[in-house]
């Protein structure tokens, strides 16, 4: 990734008729530097979560008869989870929730299993905690593919986390947010057009990742 926050902030300023200074200030007074930088970070995180274009892999060692495990501190969203037992066998685990497990096997919180977890859930617990059910009698490990926190953009030359080809979509998303703000520059039609460009970038990225049908 080679595109920096300063370059994109300058492009946004040019698109909106602002004096270009890499996002250090906004001559119209409609936005503050901190406000636009916050929107830039927010849109990059949103794009990463919606597309999964950049994923991080990690492994968490599990203990016998333990349901809940800590997620990495930079975790944003889970994409894939696989269980690896002591023999080296790897099994993909589908996502689910406690309600599904209650229907499948009511005693799952108390009685362990000897094979592999049936589901994982990262929504029914506290933040940065994942639950696999039912608990397994033997030790093993969970292999994760997840969306991690992106680089913290500013106006100091920080590179984007998304690939260079995806940066234009993030830029349009920021412009959409800026034009949607209530004020003298409020422009719903242009904001919607910019939002459509962002969405098009998201869908195009998903197609590239999945391949053409």
Three-class secondary structure assignment of 50-78: HHCCCCEEEEEEECCCCCEEECCCCEEEE
Q: Are 61 and 48 contained in the same domain?
A: no
Q: How do residues 1-33 score in pLDDT, each as one tens digit?
A: 689 999 999 999 999 999 999 999 999 999 999
In the chain, how many domains are there? 2
pLDDT in tens, 32-78: 999 999 999 999 999 999 999 999 999 988 888 888 888 899 999 99
**Among 191, 190, 154, 185, residue whose Cα is nearest residue 29:** 185
Q: What number is the average pLDDT over the span 165-182?
A: 96
Give per-residue pLDDT as tens, 103-149.
Answer: 777 777 777 776 788 888 888 777 899 888 888 888 889 999 999 99
Which residue range forms the structural domain that includes residue 142? 56-148
Q: Where are the alpha helices (DSSP H) in 52-150?
A: 98-104
Q: Final residue of a domain: which of 96, 127, 148?
A: 148
Residue 49 has a pLDDT of 94
Whether residue 156 is contained in a domain is answered as no
Same domain for 123 and 178: no
Q: Can you give the pLDDT at residue 123?
A: 81
Average pLDDT, stretch 77-98? 90
Virtual CA dihedral for 91, 96, 101, 104, nearest 10 degrees? -70
- Cα dihedral: 61, 66, 72, 76 (round 10): 130
pTM of this structure = 0.85
Task: Indicate if 33 and 48 belong to the same structural domain.
Answer: yes
Could you give the C-alpha distances from 168 to 5, 7, 26, 71, 75, in angstroms and in order?
12, 11, 20, 31, 25
Same domain membership, residue 83 and residue 19: no
Look up residue 206 and give its two tokens: 């998903």
Eight-state DSSP code of residue 118 = S
CA Rg, the chain, in Å?
A: 22
Q: Is 155 among the domain residues?
A: no
The β-bridge relationship of strands 119-121 and 140-148 is unpaired
Q: Do 189 and 126 share a domain, yes or no?
A: no
């Amino acid at each position: 990734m080679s595109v920096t926050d300063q370059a994109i902030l300058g492009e946004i300023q040019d698109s909106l008729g602002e004096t270009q200074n890499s996002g250090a200030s906004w001559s119209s007074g409609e936005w503050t530097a901190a406000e636009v930088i916050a929107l830039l970070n927010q849109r990059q995180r949103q794009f990463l979560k919606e597309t999964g274009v950049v994923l991080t892999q990690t492994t968490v060692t599990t203990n016998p008869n333990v349901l809940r495990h800590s997620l990495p501190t930079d975790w944003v969203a889970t994409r894939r989870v696989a269980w690896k037992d002591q023999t080296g066998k790897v099994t993909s685990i589908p996502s689910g929730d406690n309600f599904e497990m209650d229907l499948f096997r009511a005693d799952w919180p108390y009685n362990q299993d000897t094979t592999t977890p049936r589901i994982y859930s990262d929504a029914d617990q506290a933040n940065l905690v994942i639950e696999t059910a039912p608990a397994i009698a033997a030790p093993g490990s969970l292999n994760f593919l997840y969306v991690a926190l992106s680089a913290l953009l500013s106006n100091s030359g920080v590179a984007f986390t998304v690939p260079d080809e995806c940066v234009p979509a993030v830029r349009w998303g920021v412009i959409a947010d800026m034009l949607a703000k209530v004020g003298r520059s409020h422009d719903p039609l242009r904001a919607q057009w910019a939002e459509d460009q962002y969405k098009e970038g998201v869908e195009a990225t998903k197609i590239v990742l999945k391949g053409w049908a």
